[in-house]
Amino acid sequence: MLHHGSADVMRLEPDRIFDISGPYPLRLRFENNTVRVEKSSCPAGICRHHGSISRPGEVIICLPNRVSVKITGSSIVDTITE
């Protein structure tokens, strides 16, 4: 579980799943050097419909969960904050 204000940094690896619990649990799927929100129970589901990201600077945000996923650096690294 991620805590408010924390950040986890992880490499994009094939076939990795990362579950985040919270008011609206969500699941991130890492595959083929991309990351996407595979499941989310948030009301609008915008994060789920955003699709995959893979390039530095791209971001997926889930406001109801206070979660953001951002590709950073020159090498592909993912940062998740809540």
What are the tens digits of pLDDT across the range 26-73? 899 998 888 999 999 988 889 999 999 988 889 998 888 888 888 887
Q: Is pLDDT above 60 for 10? A: yes
Catalogue all structural domains in the chain, each as residue range(s) with its CATH number: 7-81 (2.60.320.10)
Q: Is pLDDT above 90 for 15? A: no
- Please indicate, yes or no, whether the overall pTM of this predicted structure exceeds 0.85: no
List strand residue ranges (DSSP E) for 1-82, in order: 7-11, 16-20, 26-31, 34-40, 59-62, 67-72, 77-81
How confident is the model at residue 2, as a pLDDT?
A: 30
Higher pLDDT, 17 or 22: 17
